[in-house]
Chain A
Amino acid sequence: MQFSHETPPQPLHHNNNTNISSSFCNLPMNNQVLRARPWAGFPTSKSLGSFGDTNCMEQLLVHCANAIESNDATLAQQILWVLNNIAPPDGDSNQRLTSGFLRALIARAAKIGSCKILAAMADSNSNISFQTHKFSIIELATFIDLTPWHRFGFTAANATILEAIDGFSTIHIVDLSLTHCMQVPTLIDAIASRNEVPPLVKLTVAGATEDVPPMLDLSYEELGSKLVNFARSRNIILEFRVVLSSYKDGFSSLIEQLRVQQHLMYSENGEALVINCHMMLHYIPEEPLPSSTSYSIGGFEPSHAACSSLRTMFLKSIRSLDPTVVVVVDEDADLTSNNLVCRLRSAFNYLWIPYDTVDTFLPKGSKQRQWYEADICWKIENVIANEGFQRVERLETKSKWVQRMRNANFRGVGFGEEAVSEVKSMLDEHAAGWGLKREDEDLVLTWKGHNVVFATAWLPA
Chain B
Amino acid sequence: MPTELDNSSTASGEASVSSSGNQTAPPKSTAKKKRNLPGMPDPDAEVIALSPKTLMATNRFICEICNKGFQRDQNLQLHRRGHNLPWKLRQRSSKEVKKRVYVCPEASCVHHDPSRALGDLTGIKKHFCRKHGEKKWKCDKCSKKYAVQSDWKAHSKICGTREYKCDCGTLFSRRDSFITHRAFCDALAEESARTQNPPQTQNQAQAQTAGNTNSEPDGKAQTGNSSPPPQVVAAQQPPAPALPPPPAPAPASAASQSTGVLPSSLPIQTPDLPENPNPPRILEEAPAATGLNGNSNCSTSSSSNGSTSSSVFASLFASSTASANLQPSQPPAFTDLIRAMSRPDRQADLAPCSSMEPISLGLSTNHGSSIFGTTGPERRQYAPPPQPAMSATALLQKAAQMGAAATNASLLRGLGIVSSSSTSGHQDNMHWNQRQVDPDSSSVPAGLGLSLPDGNSGLKELMMGTPSMFGPKQTTLDFLGLGMAAGGSPSGGLSALITSIGGGLDVAAAAASFGGGEFSGKDIGRSS
A residues bordering B, Cβ < 8 Å?
A: 2-13, 17, 20-21, 24-25, 27, 29, 38-43, 50-51, 56, 59-60, 62-63, 67, 71-75, 77-79, 81-82, 107, 110-111, 114-124, 126, 129, 131-132, 134, 137-138, 141-142, 144-145, 151, 154-155, 170, 172, 182, 184-186, 188-189, 200, 202, 207-211, 215, 219-233, 235-246, 252-253, 256-257, 260-261, 264-268, 271, 299, 378, 381-382, 385-386, 390, 426, 429
Contacts and interface: CB of A to CB of B under 8 A. Distances in A.
Chain B interface: which size bin?
A: 35 or more
17 contacts: A12-B462, A17-B453, A25-B446, A41-B528, A56-B516, A60-B515, A74-B496, A116-B437, A120-B437, A120-B441, A134-B421, A220-B415, A225-B249, A226-B184, A253-B364, A261-B370, A386-B426
B188 A141 contact: no
Contacts of A256: 351, 353, 364, 366
Given A8-B446, A260-B350, A115 B416 contact: no
Contacts of A74: 448, 480, 493, 496-497, 500, 507, 510
Q: Which 7 residue pairs of A and B lie closest in terms of their CB atoms, listed nearest first? A: A73-B493, A116-B481, A185-B183, A208-B414, A264-B370, A241-B267, A253-B364
The winner among A51, A107, A119, A189 for most chain B CB atoms within 10 A is A119
Contacts of B439: 4, 120
Interface in B167-200: 173-174, 176-177, 179-185, 188-189, 191-192
Contacts of B444: 8, 117
Contact of B309 (A186, A237, A245): A237
B433 A119 contact: yes
B410 interface: yes
A139 to B, nearest CB: 10
Given A13-B461, A25-B450, A74-B448, 20 more contacts: A8-B444, A11-B466, A13-B465, A20-B527, A27-B446, A39-B452, A116-B482, A117-B479, A121-B442, A185-B183, A202-B267, A211-B422, A241-B268, A242-B264, A243-B364, A244-B363, A261-B370, A264-B370, A385-B426, A429-B174
B430 to A, nearest CB: 5
Interface string B414-447: 1110000111111101110110110111111111
A266 B507 CA distance: 76
Nearest to A63: B514
A188 B507 CA distance: 65
Q: Which of B273, B448, B488 lies at the interface centre, i.e. has the most chain A CB atoms within 10 A of its CB? A: B448
A264 B376 CA distance: 11
B183 A221 contact: no
A123 B439 CA distance: 9
Contact of B373 (A62, A186, A267): A267
Contacts of A231: 270
A381 B267 contact: no
Contacts of A129: 427
Interface string B444-470: 111111101110011001100110010
Contact of B421 (A12, A215, A238): A215
Contact of B264 (A71, A118, A233, A244): A244
A115 B458 CA distance: 23
A260 B214 CA distance: 30
A185 B448 contact: no
A242 B265 contact: yes
B308 A119 contact: no
B462 A226 contact: no
B244 interface: no
B323 interface: no
Given A41-B528, A215-B421, A429-B174, A225 B269 contact: no
Given A207-B415, A266-B330, A111 B364 contact: no
B95 to A, nearest CB: 41
- Determine which residue in A188, A209, A232, A243 has the highest number of CB atoms from chain B within 10 A of its CB, and name it: A232
B180 to A, nearest CB: 5
B208 interface: yes
B120 interface: no
A434 B439 CA distance: 47
B371 interface: yes
A141 B511 CA distance: 48
A5 B514 CA distance: 29
Interface in B219-250: 246, 248-249
Contacts of B87: none
Contacts of A225: 211-212, 248-249, 268
A110 B429 contact: yes
A381 B442 contact: no
Among B436, B443, B477, chain A packs the most CB atoms within 10 A around the CB of B443
Most chain A beta-carbon contacts within 10 A, residue among B176, B421, B519: B176
B208 A260 contact: no
Contacts of A182: 180
Given A63-B515, A189-B179, A253-B364, A229 B481 contact: no
Given A142-B181, A233-B192, A266 B374 contact: yes
Nearest to A189: B179
B184 A51 contact: no
A226 B504 CA distance: 70
Interface in B266-287: 266-274
Nearest to A269: B329
Contacts of A124: 442
Given A3-B442, A220-B264, A228-B268, A235 B273 contact: yes
Nearest to B464: A13
A237 B446 contact: no
B317 to A, nearest CB: 17
A388 B371 CA distance: 36
Which has the most chain B C-beta neighbours within 10 Å: A12, A39, A299?
Answer: A39
B433 A241 contact: no
Which one of B368, B452, B494 has the highest number of Cβ atoms from chain A below 10 Å of its Cβ?
A: B452
B373 A264 contact: yes
B269 A239 contact: yes
Contact of A117 (B249, B330, B445): B445
Given A11-B466, A232-B273, A41 B523 contact: yes
Nearest to A17: B454
A429 B164 CA distance: 15
B183 A227 contact: yes
